[in-house]
Structure 1
Amino acid sequence: MSSTLQIPVTNLLLAALPQKDRNALLNDCEKVELVFAEELYHAGEIMPYVYFPLEGFISLITPVDNSANLEVGLSGNEGMLGITLILNIDAAPFRALVQGAGSAFRISTALFRQQLANSPALQQLLTRYLYVTIMQLALTGACTRFHLVEARLARWLLMTQDRAHSNYFHITHVFLAYMLGVRRVGITKAASSLQKQKFISYQRGDITILDRAGLEAVSCTCYQADKETYQKILG
């Protein structure tokens, strides 16, 4: 297991814990590398591990039918993967797919249950994070139904930049269409519009954020609402 004295804590949930509780949790964790396109969970399967991302980020994907999927959330260093364990449910509600490579702390489900039982501070923190997650899922559902593709794409790019901690990342039109649940032609049109406005540079899957303020201006209000909810409940 990893030594708590040698690992810098860059996950915001872990950093919010009292030092004693954080050290106890980290003593049961190991540091692992998240590999791009790695599938951590299938929807409905038992979760063997809980993850606290440090640098990478993970897409939460729900199957719509036998051929379609929709991204309903992202988890980066602001959160965790495996939050339903706070409800004593160890079945994964979503497919979890690594979208941004990087490191994470990982703890077995069995050890995590023990940590929950022994730490009221951890229970309280993750109960609040569960509330934030529920609010974000509800907002994503409304956003998918009512907002235009360009505004949703701008929101997604901002959310991804927040978790990638970089102005640059790689994503294809096909994958974006898959994530947002729209046709590829819709993504092409929306991305072209953002590029013409010089908010982004996009070439063969390489995206560079050129004007974050511009993206925020054309993004739907869901992006700011997400941030405000997190700050209000966990900030």
Structure 2
Amino acid sequence: MTTVENHLIELLPRNDRRRLLAVCEPIQLALAEILCEPGRSTRHVYFPVDGFISLVARNGSHPGLEVGMVGREGMLGAQLALGVATVPLHALVQGPGAAWRVTAADFRRELARSPALERGLNRYIYVLMSQLAASAACLRFHLIGPRLARWLLMSQDRAHSDTFRVTHEFLALMLGVRRVGITTAASALQRSGLIEYHRGDLTVLDRNGLESMACSCYAADRQAYAELLP
């Protein structure tokens, strides 16, 4: 396991952190791996370290829409802290990498023993709710280009790298738009010298420029994390 840690685990007091890690196992998240499906019972909780996960809402036969993203700043399975075992969203690995995994039963026991873990998760759930609400408003009110810039910045933050893999098909699915719209928006960002895209490998060339192109939702997301999970 890499020495980079999950932020929620880092925030715990030493003894609470040690007990939680004692019941965790290190795993590798594989690209496009499905970690859980809505309506099913939660079997495991995941604390990403350098991998990251898309939270996707589905509606009938439609392929779905990304409404949230989980990286080392958070966790998958936070609904257990509310006493709810049912999975609310489809969870898909967007960026491969290391994570800690713990069974739902072990996690509940540690949650009952650690007021600090409970407080941290309550704050994280609030931040996650804010992200979900912002995603809905973003879809309704913002254009594809700024939404794409926001998504790329969020992915870069969680990939811990200027370069990561993503296809136009995947972007279209995540943003809920047609592929031609993604192609047009990505081409505009590339012509502006903000990104470089070749055969599925995307590189952020000018982060400051990309931030200026992103919709206001990106800055609001970062502010919420900074204020509640410093």
Change (3 A) 1:39 1:211: same
Match of 2:26 in 1: 31
Match of 2:167 in 1: 172
Match of 2:117 in 1: 122
Pick from 133, 137, 146 the counterpart of residue 138 of structure 1: 133
Q: Deviations over 1:197-232 (max 9, x none)?
A: 000001222111000000000000100000001111
Match of 1:199 in 2: 194
- 1:182 is the counterpart of 2:185: no
The DSSP-based 3-state class of the residue aligned with 1:182 is coil
Distance 1:84 1:165 in 2: 26
- 1:233 is the counterpart of 2:190: no
Pick from 84, 87, 92 the counterpart of residue 92 of structure 1: 87
Distance 1:125 1:144 in 2: 29
The DSSP-based 3-state class of the residue aligned with 1:201 is strand
Letter in 2 for 1:58: I
Pick from 24, 28, 37 the counterpart of residue 42 of structure 1: 37
Match of 1:3 in 2: none
Match of 2:10 in 1: 15
CA positional deviation for 1:18: 0.5
- 1:55 is the counterpart of 2:53: no
Letter in 2 for 1:97: L
Change (3 A) 1:100 1:7: closer
Q: Deviations over 1:27-66 (max 9, x none)?
A: 0100011011110001111111000000100010010231
The DSSP-based 3-state class of the residue aligned with 1:77 is coil
Distance 2:64 2:40 in 1: 17
Change (3 A) 1:82 1:120: same
Distance 1:65 1:207 in 2: 31
Distance 2:21 2:165 in 1: 31
Match of 1:215 in 2: 210
The DSSP-based 3-state class of the residue aligned with 1:103 is strand
Give me the identity figure in percent.
53
Match of 1:163 in 2: 158
In structure 1, runs of 5+ residues without a counterpart are 1-5
Aligned length: 230
Judge conservation of contact 2:47–2:100 (CA < 8 Å) in 1. yes
Distance 2:33 2:103 in 1: 18
Letter in 2 for 1:184: R
Runs of 4+ in 1 over 2 A off after TM superposition: 6-9
Letter in 2 for 1:121: A
In structure 2, runs of 5+ residues without a counterpart are none
- 1:110 is the counterpart of 2:105: yes
Distance 2:165 2:115 in 1: 40
CA positional deviation for 1:9: 5.5
CA positional deviation for 1:68: 3.0
Q: Deviations over 1:162-206 (max 9, x none)?
A: 000011111111110000000011000100000010000012221
Judge conservation of contact 2:4–2:50 (CA < 8 Å) in 1. no
Distance 1:181 1:53 in 2: 25
Change (3 A) 1:115 1:9: farther
